[in-house]
Amino acid sequence: MLIKEHEPLGPKTTMRIGGTARYFAELGTKQDLEEAWAFAEKNTLPLIVLGSGSNTIFADDEIQALVVRIAASKVDLPQMANRKSQMANVIVESGKNLPMLINELAKEGLDLSPLTGIPGTLGGAIFGNAGQGPKGIWIDHFVESVTIYDGAWKTLTKEECNFRYRESKWKDAPPVVAEDRDLPLRLAPIIWSIVMKIPQGNPSAITQEIECLLQRRIETQPHQRTAGSCFKAVGETPAWQLIDAVGLRGYKAGGVMVSEKHANFLIGEKGAKFEDAVNVVNAVKEKIPEKLEVEMRFVKPDGLLEF
């Protein structure tokens, strides 16, 4: 495993905001992950997993952490002769790009079309239980089990993952504390691979459904420098409706604004700063009486989260 120092993070995110990582590594094997974990523990560093950066904004200063990207992306498909039921088990490593996975599986007659349009890696989608709205289909619908590393290798059942709307066991995991240290370490478990249970269908029909859903996303969501949905829904009320109701569609602070096309998306202009995005989020939260929970990750220089 190669550990880089002072690695630029902005170019690794979709909003192109952020300074550098004190340490950065790409993890292609289980041994890489074990070594990264040991390095973070030894140096008392937070360990931050970065997928494709489609829901993360880093502070403009150096992040005092080990930032890692899971490069492992193998997909283990069952042979056609073994697909005797309406469902097929597929093993996928967490670094796999989710849109690519959806398209590749469609050609095999495996239907993940309800997740169409969700950016990022499979691991990131599992971490945040990505999917449709509060009453829609989320990625946990397709999960059989998840293999993680938290200092030891473990495989958890779907029930043990504690999936809820935009939440999972890992999103609310407490810091891991090393017994021989005075300081808590932000070493939440790392997702390595997933066994998915996927319905089978006609490849052409699945592909057609994917194309229809993508077109709908293009018509309703911005495609500039954005990091996806910023806020979670409140009950069954979409966040964009609440933002619209207080007149903040198009609100701008510095180089970051609330999208005119979809009010739950932030748009970053060239040269936008972390503070700009934080100011927009705070302005929205202050105006809306309902408690809005932030869905995106805002990583501060100490490696902890702003919200």
On whether both 110 and 168 belong to a single domain, the answer is yes
pLDDT digits (tens, 9 = 90+) for 142-190: 999 999 999 999 999 999 999 999 999 988 765 555 555 555 565 889 9
Residue 211: give its domain's CATH number: 3.30.465.10
- What is the mean predicted confidence (pLDDT) over 9-32? 98
Q: What is the pLDDT of residues 263-290, one digit of tens each?
A: 999 999 999 999 999 999 999 999 998 8
Torsion angle (degrees, nearest 10) of CA 267, 268, 270, 274: 170
Q: Is residue 142 part of a domain?
A: yes
Residue at 305 is within a domain: no
pLDDT in tens, 260-269: 999 999 999 9
Are 174 and 261 contained in the same domain? no
Last residue of a domain, which of 176, 197, 218? 218
Is the per-residue pLDDT at 119 higher than 70?
yes
Among 218, 253, 272, the domain boundary falls at 218
**CATH code of residue 7:** 3.30.43.10
186 and 246 part of one domain:
no
DSSP the chain: -PEEEEEE-GGGSTT----EEEEEEEE-SHHHHHHHHHHHHHTT--EEE-SSSSSEEE-SS-EEEEEEEE----EEPPPGGG--SSEEEEEEETTSBHHHHHHHHHHTTB--GGGTT--SBHHHHHHTT-BSSTTS-BGGGGEEEEEEESSSEEEEETGGGT-BTTB-TTTTPPPB--TT-SS-B----EEEEEEEEEEB--HHHHHHHHHHHHHHHHHHS--SSEEEE-B--BTTB-HHHHHHHTT-TT-EETTEEE-SS-TTEEEE-TT--HHHHHHHHHHHHHH-SS-PPB-SEEE-TTSSB--
Q: How many domains does the chain have?
A: 3
Q: Flag whether pLDDT at 15 surpasses 80.
A: yes
* Pick from 84-93, 94-103, 116-125, 206-215: least confident: 84-93
Residues 59-87 have a mean pLDDT of 87
pLDDT at 80 (0 to 100) = 62
Mean pLDDT of the chain: 92
Q: Of 70, 102, 124, which closes a domain?
A: 70
Do 229 and 195 sit in the same domain of this protein?
no
Tell me whether residue 306 is in a domain.
no
Indicate the pTM of the whole model: 0.91
pLDDT value at position 223? 85
* Residues 134, 28 within the same domain: no
pLDDT, mean of residues 235-247: 94
Radius of gyration of the chain measured on its C-alpha atoms? 19
The reply to whether 85 and 192 lie within a common domain is yes
So what's the pLDDT on residue 183?
55
65 and 82 housed in the same domain: no
Give me the domain span that covers residue 61.
3-70
Determine the Cα–Cα distance for residues 30 and 278; give it in Å rounded to an integer: 35
Residues 271 and 105: their CA atoms lie apart, in Å, by 38
Does 22 share its domain with 153? no
**Does residue 198 carry a pLDDT above 60?**
yes
Same-domain pairing of 188 and 230: no
Say if 146 falls within a structural domain. Answer: yes
In this structure, is residue 266 part of a structural domain?
A: yes
Q: In CATH, what number is assigned to the domain containing residue 289?
A: 3.90.78.10
Asked if residues 137 and 64 have their Cβ atoms less than 8 Å apart, the reply is: no
